Amino acid sequence: MVESAPGISMGAAEIEPARRRFVLGAGMAAGAALVGAPFRARAADRTGITFTSAKFFGKQTIAEVVDSYNQSQGRVHVTYVELPPPSSSTEVHQALVQQLVRRSGTPDVFTQDVVWIAEMAGAGWSLPLDQYFPVSERAHYFPGTIAACTYQDKLTALPWFVDSGMLYYRKDLLDGIGARVPETWAELVSAAEAIQKSGKAKFGYLWQGKQSEVLVCDAVEVIASNGGSILTPDGRTAALDSAKSVEAIQFLHDTINKTKISPADVLSWDEEPSRRNYPRGGVR
């Protein structure tokens, strides 16, 4: 699923072209800094904009990308405001809303979780981008990500990256019991139980059940993989009480209480605790 997408906040009309240059150029900033001498100009001589983002990590931090962009050209100077990491999505949302609700013109550009698109656009905090990104430009993106960034038929954010839910597995543990990679939930339970019986791992399946966004994401993944859905096709009616959706949520419940392939600790876990315990085969 799409996790985050840059959005454009409401601000002074005269700096909209500068904002557009930043959005279009940010992805190329690192390359520009590497292939040639950086272009330096005084910040006072440039159009200034503020960019607010969660603290992402990669080969470069967002702060380094912004620095590279500032050095690569002399027309726009970006001031970067760093928010907590995406794993603290509640805190990121709160900090961003606190900035936007003041309507002080800051930030000019911000990243947002895809589930905030309607909220930000509905409040008037993100501008329509249709005039800057015609249909021909949007064709370079996955259709689903463009649809997710569209509110009331207007493009109000740009897809930045895609987070996809995946099932990671320990090849050594599966090989140890002579099992193939699970392709169904039943196969996963069977393999996990066999691994636990072998003594190679205390728990065979780890997930994130903390009462936060991570639980919603895990629930959506199991519901979708079981043929269920959160909403009916028209998007207006809840479908969580459908047989497929209920069966999926029951599966998660049973991993702790029936099959016992997951520790009760998952109910307090977000991504990092489950990642730390994964190489060790569960809590020891």
Dump pLDDT digits (tens) for 88-122: 888 899 999 999 998 888 899 999 988 899 999 99
Residue 274 in contact with residue 206, Cβ under 8 Å? yes
Q: Which of 103, 128, 119, 141 is nearest to 19 (CA)?
A: 128
Phi-psi group of 74: left, alpha or beta (phi > 0 → left; psi -120 to 50 → alpha; rest → beta) = alpha
Dump pLDDT digits (tens) for 162-213: 878 888 999 999 999 999 999 999 999 999 999 999 999 999 999 999 998 8
Report the percentage of the chain scoring pLDDT > 90. 62
Q: Is 275 helix (H, G, I), strand (E, B) or coil?
A: helix
For the chain, which domains are there? 2-162 (3.40.190), 171-280 (3.40.190.10)
pLDDT classification of 44: cutoffs 50, 70, 90: low
Q: What pLDDT shows up at residue 74?
A: 93
Q: Which contiguous run of DSSP H or E holds residue 70?
A: helix 62-72
Q: Is 9 helix (H, G, I), strand (E, B) or coil?
A: coil
